[in-house]
Amino acid sequence: MSRRLRTIAYLGIILILYLIPEFVRSDYIINLLVFFLIRSLVAISFNLLYGYTGLLSIAQGGFYGIGAYGYTLLVMNAGWPTWPAWLAGGLIAAVISLPVSGITFKLKGHYFAICTLALSLIITAILTIWRGLTSGALGIAGVPPMGGISLPWVGEISFRNTFSFYPLVLTVFLLILLVIYLLTNSKVGRTFQAIRENEELSLSVGINPNHHKAVCFFISAMISGLAGGLFASYIGFVHPMTSDVFIGLFALVCTVVGGTGTILGPVVGMLLLGTLPEILRIDPMIRNLLFGVCLIVVVRVAPKGIMGILGQLRQRSREVLR
Amino acid sequence: MSQYLINGLVLSSIYIVVALGLTLVYSILDVPNFAHGELVMLGAYIGVFLIGLMGVTNYFLVLIFAVVALAGLSVLLWKFIFRPLRSAPPVTMFIAALGLVYILQSAVQLIWGKEWLSLRSPFAGSVLLGAATITHTRIFIFSLGCLLMILVSLFIYRTWLGKGIRAVSQSESGAALAGINANRMITFTFAVSGALAGCAGILLGHVTFVFPLMGFSPLLKAFAMIIIGGMGSIPGAIIGGFFIGIIETLSIAFFSAEYADIFAFGALVITLMIRPRGLMGKLE
Amino acid sequence: MVLLEADGIMKSFGGLQALTGVDFRIHEGELVSIVGPNGSGKTTLFNVITGFHKPTKGTIKFRGNGIGGLSPYKIARAGIGRTFQVTALFDNLSVLDNVIVGLHRQTTSRMIDALMRDRRYRREEKHCLEKAKAMLHFVDLENCEDDLAGPLPSFSRKRLAIAIALVSNPGLLLLDEPAAGLNVEEIDRLAALLKSIQASGVTLCVIEHKMKFVMSLSNRVMVLNEGSKIAEGTPAEVSQDSRVIAAYLGK
């Protein structure tokens, strides 16, 4: 497919995505899409860490929660306007990732994973115990939605309900997807992958792995934090369990099954394992069972996940067509 | 205060049994079995099923059944899930173990539901020690725990099988040269690990509630223990175990139950920061 | 001109003394070989020079600047390239990408540039692509530039590893057993490659076991045994040295 045709196709898809609420007037489905987009952001942030740089981090839940609480506290307690508060929430999560980087980078593989898991749990515990700041396990209700924007001709756009929030989330999602695409298909992505493939060799060509890993972690934590802020402004309620370790694990499952190291892998995985079970009203327990089965099947049979299988099918069809 | 200490000591002894099973597998595979906590949970549920639902009255029969069943399950997991992944990067074993966690937790929930059950022990009555009341159950648990620690240490350091396991965990090629079949040793290790988990599960069921997610917290505490004590080391697991037990007990006594987790995980993180090798190294 | 000066290099691991005081020099433009029985400390010496191990004692100077104790990436940026005894590649990247990564120390564009795809970034990427392709041509791997590095046959892997280390124009290139596992024809091709590398102005230091290979290529040979230097000189001088013969026969 020629480049121009492909660009038009992408723009067309994006246009359709924006227009979905016009055709589908169901609050339920748009709500599902909003959650799908927010959670996909967490999966994408995990994919950046694991699929490209090889860091198996289970700390995404913690950063998500920090972003959510950051937004909430800055808006409600410090009186910040919503947009800067949202960005600041993501930045706070990213900054907190720096000491985490320092602590965890000398650890290999599973030690790293376990340490990030412990840190995620510690973040949840801190959010619960620091009642002065966070009202503890009661959570904070009445979190304001994102403030409105005034556009020249269109007038005031507010983001108070599902239908108006959807374009906001979609825009953030697409922007972050674009950023990830630009980064990973560039020298930055190549360097991340080199570090994942062979850290010693990377050192011998002048790459400082810790620097790049820290940058990767920073960006990943920022994305998770921004996703958390979006969540808080949409739901209107935050709670220590907003930083639950399961969020990080869920991101891991969706990314591994969808296909690590690809841009759309985590999104596909989230669609299949997150949204589809909800639409089909699959019992959460059966869904979790399927998670486990999918993980084991993928790891044994299809290490590149669904995107890998699709890639192989495309390869085969090309060979057949010759 | 002394009541806390006693209860904490008893709980620690159970966690140490869990940690021993975890560290054995780690020492021989170089990858920790993240699904170990679920094996413990299954042990507890077997106890509930046999004693509670089926009304089996012979307690030791139940213990033995749980031990054997979980040893068998553990070996099956090795054969069908972990072994085929040995040639892949170690991270894949971790992910597979995560998959097992999901499968086992949800399977149990589907069969037995989410309610918190209890596992009655056959020991009634208690003793007074100063200001503290110690139930006979707890005495039994602590004794059995210590007995298992001694048995496992003897097994690893004195028996032929134990020596074989240590050989393979040190160097698989070296062991092969000495005619030791690595596969068989790993299978035995998984069996012992599963047996320990099954036993720990029943003991744990006597002091806490039995519910599908009950394996998660002991697993993390066991990780903290063996990381502090040194992954792959038996005395390390025991020392690390009492260390974590004391930290937990003190934090509950001086702060509140919520803090117990923070201090235990905090200790884990600090250890990983300063001395990832822990206090002791691999199985020597 | 002396490119590398190493004085009194000692390295111990716990109780094990891997290097017990090695002095040597590498002069610009020459091809020096380091030989010695297994376990004599050759690779450890490379690791100390390139920063993968810190010397327990001793100083190392490259172009007059001290590099002892620096991190490997800093030493690489100073202009020392190396290959590894077990051929190290980025297995899941393409051959071309492998070499492009080798150019890292010469690139200056930052993440913002990559994000914005600005002129500096695009110019640098184009430049890297050209240099990488030229290097693949030089090591005769241009036909497989899109193949994954992992499944390549062993001689191709070795040439790729050399390409990665060489592409950023290091002043000194350290090769750890480049001829290991190669057949006679491949060894000849490798020798020709090393000669052209030397002719292009790169100073080479090679660890090798294969004596014929070493003798025909080297300007100088240094012999290590049990962590210390026991002989040094031209290939002819060293092969006659009784201590060297004893060391090899003894093992």
As to burial, measured by CB atoms within 10 angstroms (0-12 exposed, 13-18 middle, 19+ buried), residue C220 is buried
Question: Could you tell me the end-to-end alpha-carbon distance of chain B, in angstroms, rounded to an integer?
Answer: 38
- The helix/strand count (H/E) of chain A reads as 15, 4
**What is the pLDDT, as a whole number, of residue B277?**
65
Residues in chain C whose beta carbon is closer than 8 A to a beta carbon of chain A? 50-52, 71-73, 76-77, 81-82, 84, 88-93, 97, 100-105, 107, 109, 111, 114-115, 117, 121, 124-125, 164-165, 168
Give which of B174, B39, B50 is closest to B101, Cα–Cα.
B39
Give which of C226, C225, C227 is closest to C241, Cα–Cα.
C225
Q: Inform me whether the C-beta atom of residue B222 falls under 8 Å from chain A C-beta atoms.
A: no
pLDDT bucket at C176, cuts 50 / 70 / 90: very high
For an interface test with C, the pick among A204, A210, A211, A217 (most C C-beta atoms closer than 10 Å) comes out as A204
- Chains with 3+ CB–CB pairs under 8 A to A are B, C
Residues of A whose CB is below 8 A from B273: 103
Rounded to the nearest angstrom, the gap between the alpha carbon of residue C151 and the centroid of all alpha carbons in its chain is 23
Residues of chain A short of pLDDT 70, as ranges, are: 1, 149-156, 322
* Angstroms from B92 CA to nearest CA on chain A: 6
Asked if residue B267 belongs to a domain, the reply is no
Q: Cα–Cα–Cα angle for A166, A171, A176, nearest 5°?
A: 130
CB contact under 8 A, B268 and A125: no
Angle between helices B234-254 and B2-29 in degrees, nearest 10:
150
Both tokens assigned to A91:
């930045």
CB B205 within 8 A of CB B256: no
**What is the pLDDT, as a whole number, of residue B196?**
95
Cα–Cα distance measured from residue A284 to residue C250, given in angstroms and rounded to the nearest whole number? 70
Nearest to A197 among C71, C92, C117 (CB): C92
CB contact under 8 A, C164 and A190: no
Does the pLDDT at position C130 exceed 90?
A: yes
pLDDT digits (tens, 9 = 90+) for C23-43: 989 999 999 999 988 888 899
Residue in chain A lying closest to B276 (CA):
A107
CATH of domain A26-321: 1.10.3470
CB C231 within 8 A of CB C24: no
**What is the pLDDT, as a whole number, of residue C112?**
85
Give alpha helix (H) positions in chain B. Answer: 2-29, 36-47, 59-77, 90-112, 136-158, 160-170, 172-177, 182-207, 216-229, 234-254, 257-274
Cα–Cα distance measured from residue A143 to residue B278, given in angstroms and rounded to the nearest whole number? 44
**What is the pLDDT, as a whole number, of residue A156?**
67
Both tokens assigned to A48:
């950046």
Both tokens assigned to A114:
């376990």
Percent of chain B at pLDDT > 70 equals 95
Q: Inform me whether the C-beta atom of residue A27 falls under 8 Å from chain C C-beta atoms.
A: no
**What is the pLDDT, as a whole number, of residue A154?**
63
Nearest to A182 among C52, C109, C114 (CB): C114
pLDDT digits (tens, 9 = 90+) for A66-84: 999 999 999 888 888 888 9
Under DSSP, is residue A81 helix (H, G, I), strand (E, B) or coil? coil
Q: What is the pTM of this model?
A: 0.90
Q: Inform me whether the C-beta atom of residue A177 falls under 8 Å from chain C C-beta atoms.
A: no
Does the pLDDT at position B78 exceed 90?
A: yes
Q: Inform me whether the C-beta atom of residue A116 falls under 8 Å from chain B C-beta atoms.
A: no
* Angstroms from A299 CA to nearest CA on chain B: 6
pLDDT bucket at C209, cuts 50 / 70 / 90: confident
Q: Which residues pair with C148 in a beta bridge?
A: C94
Cα–Cα distance measured from residue C93 to residue B225, given in angstroms and rounded to the nearest whole number? 39
Place of tokens 């972690």: A217
CB contact under 8 A, B99 and A296: yes
For an interface test with B, the pick among A105, A112, A287, A300 (most B C-beta atoms closer than 10 Å) comes out as A300
CB contact under 8 A, A194 and C90: yes
**What is the pLDDT, as a whole number, of residue B265?**
83
Does the pLDDT at position B276 exceed 70?
A: no
DSSP summary character for residue C209: S
- Chains with 3+ CB–CB pairs under 8 A to C are A
Which residues make Cβ contacts (< 8 Å) with residue C174, sequence separation at least 6?
C46, C49, C50, C80, C81, C82, C83, C205, C206, C207
Cα–Cα distance measured from residue B19 to residue B268, given in angstroms and rounded to the nearest whole number? 14
Task: Compute the average pLDDT of residues B200-228.
Answer: 87
Does the pLDDT at position B282 exceed 50?
A: yes
Cα–Cα distance measured from residue B271 to residue C8, given in angstroms and rounded to the nearest whole number? 36
* Angstroms from C71 CA to nearest CA on chain A: 8
**What is the pLDDT, as a whole number, of residue A10?**
87
**What is the pLDDT, as a whole number, of residue C21?**
87
pLDDT-wise least confident of A288-292, B48-52, B193-197, C43-47: B48-52
The most distant pair of C-alpha atoms in chain B lies apart, rounded to whole Å, by 59
pLDDT bucket at B278, cuts 50 / 70 / 90: low
For an interface test with A, the pick among C53, C62, C73, C120 (most A C-beta atoms closer than 10 Å) comes out as C73
Both tokens assigned to A145:
């939605």
Asked if residue B257 belongs to a domain, the reply is no
Look up residue A194 and give its amino acid.
Answer: A
Under DSSP, is residue C81 helix (H, G, I), strand (E, B) or coil? strand
For an interface test with A, the pick among B102, B110, B273 (most A C-beta atoms closer than 10 Å) comes out as B102
Both tokens assigned to B248:
């937990």
* Angstroms from A313 CA to nearest CA on chain B: 23
CB B283 within 8 A of CB B27: yes
DSSP summary character for residue C225: E
Place of tokens 């599973």: A110
CB contact under 8 A, B269 and A300: no
Residue in chain A lying closest to B262 (CA):
A122
* Angstroms from A30 CA to nearest CA on chain C: 31
Give which of C82, C26, C25 is closest to C203, Cα–Cα.
C26
Both tokens assigned to C140:
């005769």
For chain C, the average pLDDT equals: 90
Buried-exposed string B21-37: b where 16+ CB fall within 10 A, e elsewhere = bbbbbbbbbbbbbbbbb
Residue in chain A lying closest to C77 (CA):
A206
Nearest to A187 among C50, C82, C109 (CB): C109
Does the pLDDT at position B283 exceed 60?
A: no
Number of neighbours of residue B111 by Cβ within 10 angstroms:
11
DSSP summary character for residue C148: B
As to burial, measured by CB atoms within 10 angstroms (0-12 exposed, 13-18 middle, 19+ buried), residue C183 is exposed
If residue C230 lies in a helix (H) or strand (E), which one and from where to where?
strand C228-233
Place of tokens 């060894």: C187
Global ipTM? 0.93
Residues of C whose CB is below 8 A from A209: 73
Give which of B195, B153, B129, B134 is closest to B9, Cα–Cα.
B134
**What is the pLDDT, as a whole number, of residue C68?**
87
Percent of chain C at pLDDT > 90 equals 64
Under DSSP, is residue A38 helix (H, G, I), strand (E, B) or coil? helix
* Domain housing B21: 2-215
Residue in chain A lying closest to C149 (CA):
A197
DSSP summary character for residue C66: E
Asked if residue B259 belongs to a domain, the reply is no
Number of neighbours of residue A205 by Cβ within 10 angstroms:
27
A vs C: CB pairs below 8 A:
91
Cα–Cα distance measured from residue B22 to residue B223, given in angstroms and rounded to the nearest whole number? 8
CA quadruple C100, C102, C105, C109: dihedral, nearest 10? 20
Does the pLDDT at position B284 exceed 60?
A: no
Asked if residue B104 belongs to a domain, the reply is yes
Cα–Cα distances in Å, from A218 out to A122, B70, C25, C108? 19, 42, 44, 21
Q: Inform me whether the C-beta atom of residue B16 falls under 8 Å from chain A C-beta atoms.
A: no
CB C99 within 8 A of CB C89: no
CB B76 within 8 A of CB A95: no
* Angstroms from A288 CA to nearest CA on chain B: 6
Give which of C63, C67, C65 is closest to C55, Cα–Cα.
C67
Q: Are strands C16-27 and C31-35 parallel, antiparallel or unpaired?
A: unpaired
Q: Which residues pair with C80 in a beta bridge?
A: C172
Query: Domain count of chain B?
Result: 1
